[in-house]
Amino acid sequence: MTRQREKVCDRCQNSAPVLYRAQIDDTERWVFICDACYSDVSQNNPHYIYGGTWKAQKKK
Ligand SMILES: [Zn+2]
């Protein structure tokens, strides 16, 4: 059994090694978004809240 250390972006559905946890609308729901979507949704977004970064590879 292989442990899948990969998440997909909630916005574009692409998998990425690094995702950003954020709220991007007034539903106050936490989503994971990729680098490309991050710059997209964080600009001019009054609902945008940054909640941390998720990485597939954890540093030891
Ligand atoms: Zn994305």
User: What is the CA(33)–ligand 1 centre distance, in A?
Assistant: 5
Please give the Cα distance from 35 to 39 (Å, whole number).
7
What are the structure tokens assigned to 57, written together? 């590879």
Domain ranges of the chain: 7-55
User: What is the CA(2)–ligand 1 centre distance, in A?
Assistant: 25
At 60 the pLDDT is 64
| Tokens 């950003």 sit on residue | 20
User: What is the CA(59)–ligand 1 centre distance, in A?
Assistant: 23
User: What is the CA(60)–ligand 1 centre distance, in A?
Assistant: 27
User: What is the CA(48)–ligand 1 centre distance, in A?
Assistant: 15
At 1 the pLDDT is 61
pTM of the model: 0.79
Contact between 39 and 33 under an 8 Å Cβ cutoff? The reply is no
Per-position pLDDT tens, the chain of length 60: 656 667 899 999 999 999 999 999 999 999 999 999 999 999 999 999 999 999 987 766
